[in-house]
């Protein structure tokens, strides 16, 4: 087991999403290079928590590149990206210094369930805008790697204050449907 969940939150398919004003669940996680770290904004500061599919997904690689590009716009926030990837697979493809953010490896989707970030349907996966983003990702040099996680997994993003309150929550409706840091800044959320 990769995580010790520190919040007593049960998730079910019909349960409501986390909303603005809710307390963000805290948890223990692994990165590709470190083990047993604690996600707790009261200790680490305000945070942005992205949920994407896995490191081998071209759309996710494209989103990660945009997050890296825009991270300076989130200067008061610690940025985390939760992936349904095995830490060994991520570590074999990249180095810790490549990332100005924290990659959280959630191979068994426990954190996805904790935050109620659920998979979509095959129609969500085949959404035309998602397919266009997949083609753009390929043109930007992001090619498919090892399949992991759930192919129909939808993304999400949470902006969390230092006192663990969710300031912004967004659950994507297609594989590419996740607001960028730049758009969060333009909306006045950051």
Position 11 confidence tier, pLDDT thresholds 50, 70, 90: very low
Strands (DSSP E) contained in 65-128 are: 78-83, 102-105
Instruction: Name the CATH superfamily, with its identifier, for domain 27-177.
Output: Glutaredoxin (3.40.30.10)
Q: Which among 7, 80, 76 has a CA at the least distance from the CA of 46?
A: 76
Q: What is the pLDDT of residues 140-155, one digit of tens each?
A: 666 667 778 787 899 9
- At residue 17, does pLDDT exceed 80? yes
What ranges do the domains of the chain cover? 27-177
Alpha carbon distance 108, 116 (integer Å): 14
Query: Which two three-digit tokens encode residue 11?
Result: 């998730």
DSSP string, 138-174: HHTT-------S-TTBPPEEEEE-TTSBEEEEEE-SS
The answer to whether 39 and 173 are in contact (CB under 8 A) is no
Over the stretch 41-100, which tens digit does the pLDDT of each residue have?
Answer: 999 999 999 999 888 878 788 898 999 999 999 989 999 999 999 999 989 888 888 889
* pLDDT tens digits along 49-66: 999 988 887 878 889 899
Distance CA 24, CA 39 (A): 10
pLDDT, tens digit, 9 for 90 and up, residues 98-143? 889 999 999 999 999 999 998 887 766 666 676 566 566 566 666 6
* Confidence (pLDDT) at 75: 87
- Give the integer Cα–Cα distance in Å for 83 and 135: 21
Does 181 have pLDDT greater than 80?
A: yes
């Amino acid at each position: 087991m990769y995580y010790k969940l520190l919040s007593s939150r049960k998730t079910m398919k019909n349960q409501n999403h986390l909303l603005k004003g809710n307390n963000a669940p805290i948890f223990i996680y692994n990165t590709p290079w470190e083990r047993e770290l604690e996600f707790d904004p009261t200790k680490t500061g305000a945070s942005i928590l992205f949920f994407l599919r896995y490191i081998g997904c071209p759309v996710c690689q494209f989103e990660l590149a945009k997050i890296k590009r825009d991270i300076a716009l989130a200067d008061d926030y610690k940025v985390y990206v939760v992936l349904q990837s095995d830490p060994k697979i991520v570590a074999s493809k990249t180095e810790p210094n490549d990332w100005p953010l924290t990659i959280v490896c959630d191979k068994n989707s426990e954190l996805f369930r904790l935050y109620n970030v659920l998979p979509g349907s095959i129609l969500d996966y085949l959404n035309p805008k998602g397919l266009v983003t997949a083609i753009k990702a390929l043109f930007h040099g992001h090619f498919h790697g090892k399949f992991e996680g759930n192919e129909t997994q939808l993304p999400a993003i949470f902006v969390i204050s230092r006192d663990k309150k969710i300031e912004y929550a967004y659950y994507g409706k297609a594989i590419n449907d996740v607001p960028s840091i730049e758009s969060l800044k333009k909306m006045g959320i950051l």
